[in-house]
Amino acid sequence: MSPFFESSTPRPVLLGQYPLWDEALALVNRDLAATLPDQETLRLLEAPVYGEAENVYVAMANGEWHGNFLEPESADDPVCALAAIADAAQDTVSELLWQAWPLCAEHGLGMHLHEVDGQPSWWCAGGRTPHDPAHVRAAVGALDTLVRPHRPNRKRRRQPGLRDD
Ligand SMILES: [Zn+2]
């Protein structure tokens, strides 16, 4: 193995190295767990490029990623960090799983990242009629509050003869 290749091997980013990215990734992982519960959590990997700067990526559990590295400046601001992490996670998940992510549970459409009132959020283009306009589904990290509205009752066993709706 050449020295170049060895030095290019991506390695995990240590927790705490980029605190705002860690927090942002935790939020995005909540969205991932809420929408694709079979997926393992995403993680940050860093890979040196030509022996110079460390580029950090949002990768799947198996170490694969797709798309651009995180802009280093985004690690200094909570909103920028969340937007950057969500964007990179969307690239990685949708490209590697070959499916739009995250989907709007109401319309079945892939959502886009929009900043709403200073909060990175998932935006859906809506249905085809004027009565079904584009909408903001949830802030990044809050999809679980929508996908599982009946959460407190989920673990209750369904009993014969009883309806839980
Ligand atoms: Zn929608």
Average the pLDDT over 118-125 and give the result: 97
How many structural domains compose the chain?
A: 1
Rounded to the nearest whole angstrom, what is the distance from the C-alpha of residue 131 to the centroid of ligand 1?
12
Q: Is the dihedral of CA 78, 79, 85, 88 positive or negative?
A: negative
Q: Is residue 158 part of a domain?
A: no
pLDDT tens string 59-118:
999 999 999 899 999 999 999 999 999 999 999 999 999 999 999 999 999 999 999 999
Per the structure, the complete domain to which residue 58 belongs is given by: 3-150
The answer for residues whose C-beta is within 8 angstroms of residue 141's C-beta and 6 or more apart is 26, 27, 28, 30, 31, 82
Q: Does any domain span residue 159?
A: no
Cα of 133 to ligand 1 centre, how many Å? 8
- Residue 124 Cα to ligand 1 middle (Å): 5
Give per-residue pLDDT as tens, 13-51: 999 999 999 999 999 999 999 999 999 999 999 987 766
In-domain check, residue 162: no
In a domain, 63, yes or no: yes
In a domain, 95, yes or no: yes
What is the reported pTM?
0.82
Q: Ligand 1 mean position to 128 CA, how many Å?
A: 11
CA 153 to mean position of chain CA atoms? 26
Q: 138 C-alpha to center of ligand 1: Å?
A: 10
